[in-house]
Amino acid sequence: MFHYTIRRLIFTIPTLLFISFVIFFILDTAPNDPTGNLPLTIPPEVRVKIRASLGLDQPMFIRYLLWCQQFFINEPLNMIEQWFDITIGDGTRLRVTSWSTRSPVVDLVVERLPQTLWVVGMSYVVGILIAIPIGVISAYKQYSWFDQLGTFFSMLGFSVPTFFTGLLMIVIFSVHLRWFPSIYDTTHKVTDWSSFVFQVKQMIMPVMVLAFFNAAQLSRFMRASMLDNLQQDYVRTARAKGLKERVVVLTHVLRNSLIPVVTVIALGVPQVFGGAIITEQIFKVNGLGQLLIIGIQGADIPLVQTLTFIFAVLIVLFNLIADIIYGLLDPRIRYD
Amino acid sequence: MLDTAAPLVKVKNLKMHFPIYRGILSRRAGEVKAVDGISFEIMQGETLGLVGESGCGKTTVGRALLRLYDITEGTIEVNGHDISTIEGEELRALRPEMQMIFQDPQASLNPRMTVGSIISEPLDEHTKLSKVEKRAKVGELMDAVGLARHFADRYPHEFSGGQRQRIGIARALALNPKFIVCDEPIAALDVSIQAQVVNLLEDLQEQFGLTYLFISHDLSMIRHLATRVAVMYLGKIVEIAPRDALYEAPLHPYTEALLSAVPHPDPSQESTRERIILKGDVPSPSNPPQGCNFCTRCPKVIDICRSVEPELQNYGDGHFAACHLLE
Amino acid sequence: MKIPNLILAAAGASLLATTAFGAAHEARGRDGNVNIIYWQAASIMNPYLSGGTKDVDASSMVIEPLAHYDENGNMVTTLVDEIPTVANGGVSADLTSITWKLSEGLLWSDGTPVTANDVVFTANYCMDPSGGCQQLAKFSDVTNVEALDDRTVKITFGSAKPFPYGPFVGSTTPVLQAAQFAGCSGAAAPTCTAANFKPIGTGPFVVSEFRANDTITLTANPNYRDATKPAFATLTFKGGGDAASAARAVLETGEFDYAWNLQIAPEILAQMEAKGMGTVLSGFGPLVERLMINLTDPSASLGDTRSTVANPHPFMTDIAVRQALSMAIDRPLLVEVGYGKAGKVTCNVLPSPAIYDSPNNAGCEIQDIAGANAMLDAAGWAMGSDGVRAKDGVRLSILYQTSTNAVRQDFQALIKQWWGEIGIETELKNIDAAVFFGGDQSSPDTFQKIFADLEMYANNFDGTDPEAYMGSWKCSEIPSPENAWLGSNMPRHCNADYDALVAEMAGTADISKRAELAIAMNDILMQNYIIIPLVHRGNVSASANTLAGVKLNAWDSELWNIADWSRK
Ligand SMILES: Nc1ncnc2c1ncn2[C@@H]1O[C@H](COP(=O)(O)OP(=O)(O)OP(=O)(O)O)[C@@H](O)[C@H]1O
Ligand code: SF4
Ligand SMILES: [Mg+2]
């Protein structure tokens, strides 16, 4: 397993380099202009100068290499400096800098991670916590009213987009009932009980909207996997052994059914980091998803390039993690 | 010996119908009559062979007997306990007495459990043995089925088919059952290994005084193993008789046809063997024919067969059959 | 005697009470927190590095110019006591220099004094050739900026500047603190993240936390020049979401006190306002939604000379066609459909400030389909069997482009229908705004290239002086491959009379004379139907009913007078 992991990691490097180039190439060839969103009162000559000051007058290949140097060398060095509180070289090196904020992209990402992890991550966890019992019970009581209801809700979760459920919740709970804020306060700090309550209140709606969406997919998956396993002979063996029904379902069926589900969950984690763009937008959570959207709208290429690349890294990484988890959980799989 | 033995298992009018669901709303749209009213007894210490074509309901009978299904109708009595309708704890408490060896040794073992824990799990559930005692017991069982003890930490997929079936057997033996349903335990194995497993089962029967319901479609194997034989067709028993009586003088046309396909051990008789080829397909168990189940394919079919169902009747010496021709 | 005493005592007590109350009423920070939402989040607090309205407005709370424009477009002093003019000697008689004198005792928020050096530094900071300063146009023709003494700055221009109020008037060109931004000039500008996010300023607020593209938290500036202001101790400036949710946060849920730029369907805004929690405000600057006629031939077959003056347009050169296009439009309906309170009918491309609004073009608010048809008939454009007019084999078939935007697409659909009624066939095209307004040379879809027969967008100018804006339509401003498609004369309008007026304005300081010239230019464009104005657009914002002091300003940052805001 260890060798396998190392081998896969090594193979990942050229893949990611290739991906980074493809992203750069696509962003560069797509028609966009970082000065496109500026007021028309800024004259074209000034725009040319602005573009030149952003380095856009250089050939693409040079810009790509520059980005590589900034991202693969300067950023890690800077990170090491910050972690260990030391200075390497003269300590000044160009980091990947966003065009719109003129600040290091990695700092922006770090600043936004907390709310994305809290809201989107929490929704993922809640979604899993909802989905697994629903999937298990639906499969165990296949065709029961519970199962039918579960099917109905997951259809709903699948087909109703989050911008609709989000808006609906805002209208009901913020506008009419005034229970929860419609706008997420990213600067809020939890220091005592009442600020904790506020944090819960502002998280409820975005978390639930996303959790509902996540649970819809995952519960179907869980159900299918459970049904698959419930049909298996080893379940009958377990029953024949005279095990308690709870043990049969939870230790035998559930554990085996969870293997593919856990893999799917691991594969979905990069989405958490990617943020749920629409949900973040609706509730103004302003996490990574919104950062990406703003970057795209403002043609902030270093920002979009870096974010997209980080997502690509996460996707590749979690693919590997999913494979490893699968290997760990299922003794039939051996990679070496 | 047979006469003195009391029946360990008594089955009366057992029916197992599976519902069929159809459509978006998954409405109940009929049922598969996998087992449709069968009755038989198994004596203490004997091996009852159950034969029949694929899909006739043999496995279903075996599973229903052990109450792995909630049966549709009928009564089942094992070792003096009526288990036809009991549930939950009550049923669980009786589980140790009756066990099953499954058709597919691979699928019937939980892939994520080691052999040791597969065998010892029933001990956790039904005994109060200490860890050490359990380990010792697992070791004994593995010895008994001819598996090296150090295999206990391996997973099922690391074994061959024959070894897996031995694991299945060891597992079934763990709780000292009286009655074991062997559902084609050798069907998935190589011919060379089949004999080993069969011999093992025979040895164990002797050693532990087991009673078997041995399901198979291999008539030669049944002839070798069974004391009595029941023949099933489309959810019903059409003939049941002591082994020799059945093999020497089958009464039912279906049994005749089955036997005609089996090479006879006696070469003189083998030369005169005439194969009876059955025409047509087995009807669907969800929509069995009227009258005699076999009437659509029976070479000797007469008019009455298509309307009146023949009863299983005793034709002497415990030889039962259900056919209008015999009446 | 008792009674008068009593009255006196009571009067005294009440006097005491009012003064006590008055003192409390006037303390800085008395009103706690105020919440502002800009659905486009601010990225940076330095307008020299980002000219986006959101960034300019956000930074206007912290850093200030020497003078502002008020809600009526009048110049008001900020860091100076007097606006320099020729009359008071602040502007030289030859119009080539302006001298500003800072008010006495001004302090930066860090407590250090504001000096003329800061102003000089800021000018050089923006004029650094490698800095990519986005407000460079404000400093055009500036040749020298020098500090005459600690409080006096002299800005010299290379030519006569009848309107020398480009640099340091209005929130787009605030004064930066030299000490903080030293070392941030030129290519180093983007590396000064801390300074760009938390500039030290003279404004009523100081940034305490800056989350780029998200939320800015500000606190009252302890060194603000008016000890009684601002009324709010803290300010939260939230960004993100969309216009509708920003409107909802002020008008329906009351979570926020002020929401900027609410370009949403007028009837929805009206419904929200009806809840009674807040008020929708509108302010009209010079922003006009207009059609730009392409006087040159955009046919793809022309290759490199496409949409250049080398090839006159086959039919747009006929004034009858252009006038008919204008006559067929129902402007009041467009206003109602697209903008509601945020729009007005205009027949001028320069409708404000009021002194520049030409009185000579009234009447365009009346749609006249019959008149347009008659005009085309008279000009020889005969109706064809397919309902499209033609003359000498040239069919009146138009490609009409604009940016992708719900209101613009509604307008396109309506206008296409009206033009259909006068026998003009219209093909519609919409282009992503970032591409349309973006200067990407490789894209054929920029508004400068105008590879279409006409295009629609809105434009305005910064501040109150229309000289540069009206100069957009002189011959030398025509975009072409030779000048890399730079320039803002989209119609490719070239008229010697017009250019003469532009030149004359450049040498005229007298404001009423300047107004006459601007009106004359506007009239040339209008009466030749080079530009067809549609809607005079305003800014729409919403303010909570508990908020006092808000004056929506279309000429400067909407938050220009944030120091005067208070809680009712
Ligand atoms: N759970 C179930 N639901 C519905 N139908 C079933 C179910 N189990 C079995 N059947 C049907 O019942 C019939 C009998 O099946 P069973 O498995 O008992 O046959 P079998 O005699 O064991 O066949 P084989 O020799 O192939 O193992 C078949 O038609 C099968 O399709
Ligand atoms: S009853 Fe009739 S059909 Fe059935 S087996 Fe006997 S002869 Fe054949
Ligand atoms: Mg079977």
**pLDDT given for residue B317 in this prediction:** 86
**pLDDT given for residue C291 in this prediction:** 96
Question: Tens of pLDDT along B203-216?
Answer: 999 988 999 999 99
**pLDDT given for residue B161 in this prediction:** 86
Q: What share of chain B is helix, strand, coil (3-state, %, to 5)?
A: 35, 25, 40
Bridge partners (DSSP) listed for residue B27: B22
Determine how many CB atoms are found less than 10 A away from the CB of residue B277.
8
Tokens matching residue C543: 């303010």
Minimal Cα–Cα distance from A243 to chain C, Å? 55
**pLDDT given for residue C14 in this prediction:** 46
Q: Measured from the CB, is residue B217 less than 6 Å from ligand 1?
A: yes
Q: Please check the confidence at residue B274 and state whether its pLDDT lies above 90.
A: no
Q: How far is the centre of ligand 3, averaged over its atoms, from the C-alpha of B303 (Å)?
A: 32
| Domains with residue ranges and CATH for chain A | 15-84 (no CATH), 107-329 (1.10.3720.10)
DSSP state of B174: T
Q: Measured from the CB, is residue B282 less than 6 Å from ligand 1?
A: no
Q: Name the residue among B188, B221, B189, B182 with its Cα closest to residue B205.
A: B182
Minimal Cα–Cα distance from A272 to chain C, Å? 19
**pLDDT given for residue A199 in this prediction:** 92
For residue A33, give the nearest of C249, C253, C439 by CB distance. C439
CB contact under 8 A, C439 and A47: yes
Q: Which residues of B touch A232 (CB under 8 A)?
A: 107
**pLDDT given for residue B2 in this prediction:** 44
Positions in chain C whose pLDDT score sits under 70:
1-25, 439
Residue B259, classed as helix, strand or coil, is helix
**pLDDT given for residue C82 in this prediction:** 93
Q: How far is the centre of ligand 2, averaged over its atoms, from the C-alpha of B247 (Å)?
A: 19
Minimal Cα–Cα distance from C20 to chain A, Å? 34
Contact residues for C201 (Cβ-Cβ < 8 A; gap 6+):
C59, C62, C63, C64, C108, C109, C174, C177, C221
Q: How far apart are CA C336 and CA C106, in angstroms?
A: 48
Tokens matching residue C158: 């290379």
Q: Which residue of C has its CA nearest to A44?
A: C486
CB contact under 8 A, A286 and C215: yes
CB contact under 8 A, C248 and A108: no
Mean pLDDT score of chain B, rounded to an integer?
A: 88
> DSSP readout, A63-102?
HHHHHHIIIIIIHHHHHHHHHHT---TTS--PPPB-TTT-
Q: How far is the centre of ligand 1, averaged over its atoms, from the C-alpha of B53 (Å)?
A: 11
Q: Is the ipTM of this complex over 0.90?
A: no
Q: How far is the centre of ligand 3, averaged over its atoms, from the C-alpha of A214 (Å)?
A: 40
Residue of A27, A28, A40 for testing the chain C interface, max C β-carbons within 10 Å: A40
Q: How far is the centre of ligand 2, averaged over its atoms, from the C-alpha of B256 (Å)?
A: 12
Pocket test of ligand 2: the residue of B282, B294, B304 to mutate, having most ligand atoms within 8 Å of its CB, is B294
Q: Which residues of A touch C437 (CB under 8 A)?
A: 33, 36-37, 40
Question: Tens of pLDDT along B6-51?
Answer: 789 999 999 999 988 876 666 777 889 999 999 999 999 999 999 9
Q: Work out how many CB contacts closer than 8 A connect A with B.
A: 75
Chains with 3+ CB–CB pairs under 8 A to C are: A
Q: Name the residue among A295, A336, A280 with its Cα closest to residue A114.
A: A280
For residue B112, give the nearest of A240, A241, A330 by CB distance. A330
Question: Tens of pLDDT along C399-419?
Answer: 999 998 888 999 999 999 999
**pLDDT given for residue A91 in this prediction:** 63
Pocket test of ligand 1: the residue of B35, B38, B53, B58 to mutate, having most ligand atoms within 8 Å of its CB, is B58
Q: Do chains B and C touch (3 or more CB pairs under 8 A)?
A: no
Q: How far apart are CA C238 and CA C215, in angstroms?
A: 4
Residue of A60, A112, A183 for testing the chain C interface, max C β-carbons within 10 Å: A183
Chains with 3+ CB–CB pairs under 8 A to A are: B, C
Of A92-96, A218-222, C127-131, where does mean pLDDT reach its minimum?
A92-96
Q: Name the residue among A181, A155, A116 with its Cα closest to residue C255.
A: A181
Question: Tens of pLDDT along B224-250?
Answer: 889 999 999 999 999 999 999 999 899
pLDDT band for position A241 (50/70/90)?
confident
CB contact under 8 A, B111 and A234: yes
Q: Please check the confidence at residue A182 and state whether its pLDDT lies above 60.
A: yes
For residue B122, give the nearest of A242, A245, A255 by CB distance. A242
Q: How far apart are CA A289 and CA A270, in angstroms?
A: 12
| Atom in ligand 1 nearest the alpha carbon of residue B235 | 14
Closest Cα to atom 3 of ligand 2 = B295
CB contact under 8 A, C245 and A286: no
Closest Cα to atom 14 of ligand 1 = B57
Residue A319, classed as helix, strand or coil, is helix
CB contact under 8 A, A256 and B112: yes
Chains with 3+ CB–CB pairs under 8 A to B are: A
> DSSP readout, B185-242?
TTTTS-HHHHHHHHHHHHHHHHHHT-EEEEE-S-HHHHHHH-SEEEEEETTEEEEEEE
Tokens matching residue B238: 């059409």
**Pairwise pLDDT comparison (A112 vs B273), residue with the higher score:** A112
**pLDDT given for residue C137 in this prediction:** 85
Residue A254, classed as helix, strand or coil, is helix
Question: Tens of pLDDT along A250-290?
Answer: 888 998 999 889 989 999 888 887 768 888 888 888 888 88
- Amino acid code (one letter) for A260: P
The CA-atom distances, in angstroms, between C302 and each of C79, C296, C298, C395 are: 55, 11, 8, 18
| Atom in ligand 1 nearest the alpha carbon of residue B52 | 21
pLDDT band for position B270 (50/70/90)?
confident
Q: Work out how many CB contacts closer than 8 A connect A with C.
A: 190
Q: Which residues of A touch C215 (CB under 8 A)?
A: 185-187, 286
Q: Which residue of A has its CA nearest to C445?
A: A31
Pocket test of ligand 1: the residue of B15, B17, B32 to mutate, having most ligand atoms within 8 Å of its CB, is B32
Q: Name the residue among B129, B127, B138 with its Cα closest to residue B170.
A: B138
Tokens matching residue B312: 């299983």
CB contact under 8 A, A241 and B122: yes
Minimal Cα–Cα distance from C557 to chain A, Å? 13
| Atom in ligand 2 nearest the alpha carbon of residue B306 | 3
Q: Which residue of C has its CA nearest to A277?
A: C241
Q: Which residues of B touch A244 (CB under 8 A)?
A: 92, 125
Of A60-69, A79-88, C268-277, where does mean pLDDT reach its minimum?
A79-88
Closest Cα to atom 24 of ligand 1 = B54
Contact residues for B65 (Cβ-Cβ < 8 A; gap 6+):
B9, B11, B14, B76, B78, B98, B181, B213
Phi, psi of B9 (to 5 degrees): -125, 130
Closest Cα to atom 25 of ligand 1 = B54
Ligand located closest to B50 CA = 1
